[in-house]
Structure 1
Amino acid sequence: MHIKRYIDKVPGGMMLVPLFIGALVNTIAPNAGTYFGSFTNGIMHGIVPILSVWFFCIGSSISFKSTGMVLRKSGVLVVTKIAVAWIVAIFATQLLPEGGITTGLFAGFSVLTLVAAMDMTNGGLYASLMDQYGTKEDAGAFVLMSVESGPLMTMMILGTTGMASFHLQAFIGTIIPFAAGLILGNLDKDLKEFFSKGVALLIPFFGFSLGCGINIGVLADTGIAGIILSLFVIVITGIPLIIADIYLGKGNGTAGIAASSTAGAAVATPILIAQMAPQFKEIAPLASALVAASTLLTSILVPIATAKYSKWVSNRTNKFQQKIANHV
C-alpha cells in the first residue's frame, strides 16, 4: 500500500489528514482517551508536549550562518506578515465581540482566528514555490519563517491589542524549547542534523492530537466561512507582502504572494492560547476548524496565484525589454 503517497496529494496532508482522523475519533468516541488512559490518552490529548518537542526541533533546524541576502528577504516577509496581522487585530477588536462570533455564517470569526490564520506562513509551501518561480535567495528566506511558528507571535499581538493578558513566564515558556534547539543546533552540526529530522516527523502526531479535541461537525460547519477566511488571508496579507518584497526585499513580488498562506502549525494556536486565556475557550474549537480550512485552501490557492503572478511579471518584463530593444 502507498498510504503516504495518497496523503501527500492533499495540500498539508501530513497534518490535515491526521487532524481529520482525530476529529472523527473524537466525534464517534469522545471519551476514548480517558477510557484507555496511559499512552493512548497521551497521544490523543498530549498536544502541548508534542508541540514543545516540535518547536525544539524547529529551532535546531535554523542556522545563524545564513547570508545577508537571505536574512533580509526572510526578515522582510516575516516582519510584514506579523505587522499585517497586528493591524488587522487592532481593527478586529473594534468590530468583533470579545469572545468572537459563535453563530451564523461567520461563526468562528474572532480576533484570535484572524491573527492565528495570518501571522504564520506555510514555510514548506513557500520554499517549494520559490524553487519553481523564484531565486535561490527567495527560497532561502524560509530560514526565518520558522520563527513565526507557535503561539508566541499570536500571544504578543493579542497582548499588545489588549485582547488578552499573559504573564511574563508564559511568554518565556513558549521561547525556551525553541531557543534551546536553536542554540544546540548551531553549536553542533550533528545535533542540528539529528534534531531537525523531527520537524516533519512530529507533524502528523500533533495534527492527530489537535483533531482529538475537535468535533467533526465543527469542521463541517466552517464551509463558506472557511473560504472567506482563506481569501481574506491571501488578499489582506498578500498585497502588503508583494509591496514589501519589491521595495524592501528588492524582489519582483513573487516571494510576497507565495508567503500569503496559513501555516499548518497555526491550527494548534487557538487551542494553546485558550489554555492561557480562558475567554477564548468557547471559540477555540471553531477557530481551529476555520484555521484548518484556511491552511488547506490557501495551500491550493496560493500556488495558483503565485504561478499567475509570476507569469504576469515575466510577460511584463519581456515586453519592457522588447520596447528597449526596439528603441536601440
Structure 2
Amino acid sequence: MNSIFTGQASNSQTIDSLTVIATIENIKWAGTGTSIYISLGPTLQLQRFCETASAGETIALSIDLKKMFGRKNITLLEIQGISFHQVGRETSFGADFLNGLTLGVAGTIKSNEDDWALESVTLIANDIYSNTTFKQINKWLHAPSSHLDTVWSGQVLYTNWINSDKKPIDLNSQTYPVRWMPYIGDIMRWRSYDPSKIPGVGQLIGRLNGRLIGHQLSSGQSEQLESNTTTSSYTWVYTPEGSLIYRRWDKTNHAAYIRHSQLGSGRPVICAGEFKVIDQQLQSVISMVNDASGHYKPDGGACLRYVAEKFEALGISTEHTEWKWRDSAS
C-alpha cells in the first residue's frame, strides 16, 4: 500500500534474524518437484526457499538479510511484503498422446506436477516476534510458464506482529498514554472507563455491500455507520490489540461527548482522533481522519500510517481520504 506517511515513523524494533516458515497443504498432490524461491526486500532479491516440497511438509528458512535488504540489521517496518517464485516445467510427450490437444509449444505441454498448495506462512524475527498475517492461505499455486514467475505474494501487516507473550507490539516502539491532567478530570467527573458499558461505542469491523459496519459493544449488535453532517464526526482510538473503537459525536451536544480516554479504557493506545463518513456513489467513504486528541496527544501524525494500514486490512479503501495531524511542535 502506498502511504503518505512514509518516513514519519520513529524507531521500530531492530532485528538481525528472520525466519520464514511455510506449511504445505496435507492433501494429495499438494507438493512440488521444482525449486521455490522467496523474496522479501524492496529490490526483489531472491533466495532459494526449497528444492522440493512434499504434501504436509513444514519448511523453515533463515533469510539472508544482507542479500535481501542490503544490511544485516533491519526494522520490522521494512518487512512490507513477501513473494514466492517458481519456474514451471514443460514435459515432452509422444505424438499419439498429444493428438487433439492445444499446445503452447510444438511437441511439449505444460505439466501440472509443478502446482502446489500453500496452507500458511509465518514470519519469526529474532526468535521473539512473530507475524501470522498469512496463517490461512489455503491456495493452489501454479507456475504458468518455463520462466521464473511470481506464484504468490502478500502484504505483511505491521499490526500483526506480536511478541513472545502473544501480545501486539507497540507501533513506533511506543503507545500514547493518557495525559495526567485530563485523567484527573475524568476521575473527578466519574467518567466510565469501560467502553462496553457506554451506549453507542462500537468496534469497526469492515465493509458490507459498500457500507461501513461496526459492532456495538454494549448491545452486541452490528450496525451500519451513518454518514456525518457538518456538525458531527466519529471519535476513535486504535488499541494495542488492533481494534478501532469509535463513537459518533454530535458536536452540538457537548454534554454527550465521550472522551478518547474512555474509548481506550484509560490505557495507552496506538493512535486516537476523529474520522468522518460520507456517502459517495452509494458507498460509505471515510472522507477525513485526524489525530486530534487532547487526552492522548499523538505526535505529529506518525501513528496514522498504522490506522491507514488497519483500514486497508478491513477492506476499507482510503483512496479518497484526507489525512490531517496536529503539528508535533505545537
Q: TM-score, normalised by structure 1?
A: 0.25
Larger radius of gyration: 2
Q: Higher relative contact order by CA 8 Å / sep ≥ 6: 1 or 2?
A: 1
Q: TM-score, normalised by structure 2?
A: 0.25
Which structure shows the higher helix fraction?
1
